Amino acid sequence: MYSIMRTKKHKATGGGLKAALQHLYRERDTPNADRSVSNLKWGDRDGEQTTENSMRKLHSTIASVVDKTGRKLRSDAVVAVEYVMTASPEYFDQFTDKDEHRKKVSEFANTARSWIEEQYPDGTIIAAQVHMDEATPHVSLFVTPTIKNKEGVVKFNARERIGGRQKLSEHQDSFAKATEHLGLKRGIKGSKATHEKVSRFYSKVIKSLADVENIYTEDAVKIQALANKRIGGKGEIAEFAMELSHDNLKLRHLLAENSPQRQIEAVSKAHTQEIKEIKESYNREIKRLRSDLTSSRERESILENQLKTAAKPYVTQIENLQIEISKGDKTIEKLNADIAVLERDFDINYAHLSAYTSLAWGEAYAESEDVLQFRGDATYQFMSSMIDQGLQKMDDFNSNMVKEFENYESLHNNVNIR
DSSP string of 279-292, one letter each residue: HHHHHHHHHHHHHH
Residue 243 has pLDDT above 70, yes or no: no
Residues with Cβ within 8 Å of residue 386, at least 6 apart in sequence? 342, 345, 346
pLDDT tens for each residue of 181-193: 999 998 766 555 5
Structural domain spans, the chain: 3-189, 200-258, 308-414
Residue 170 has pLDDT above 50, yes or no: yes
DSSP string of 280-327, one letter each residue: HHHHHHHHHHHHHHHHHHHHHHHHHHHHHHHHHHHHHHHHHHHHHHHH
For residues 403-418, average pLDDT: 61
- Residue 62: phi and psi, rounded to 5, are -60, -45
pLDDT tens for each residue of 309-345: 887 787 888 888 888 888 888 888 888 888 888 878 7
Instruction: Report the residue count for the chain.
Output: 418
CATH code assigned to 3-189: 3.30.930.30
More confident call, 192 vs 395:
395
Q: What is the pLDDT of residue 55?
A: 94
Residues with Cβ within 8 Å of residue 324, at least 6 apart in sequence? 404
DSSP β-bridge partners for residue 5 = 85
CB distance 221 to 247 below 8 Å: no
The helix/strand/coil state of 352 is helix
Q: What is the pLDDT of residue 84?
A: 95
Residue 295: band (very low, low, confident or very high) from pLDDT cuts 50, 70, 90:
confident
Residue 124 has pLDDT above 90, yes or no: yes
CB distance 146 to 79 below 8 Å: no
Residue 283 has pLDDT above 80, yes or no: no
Q: What pTM was estimated for this model as a whole?
A: 0.49
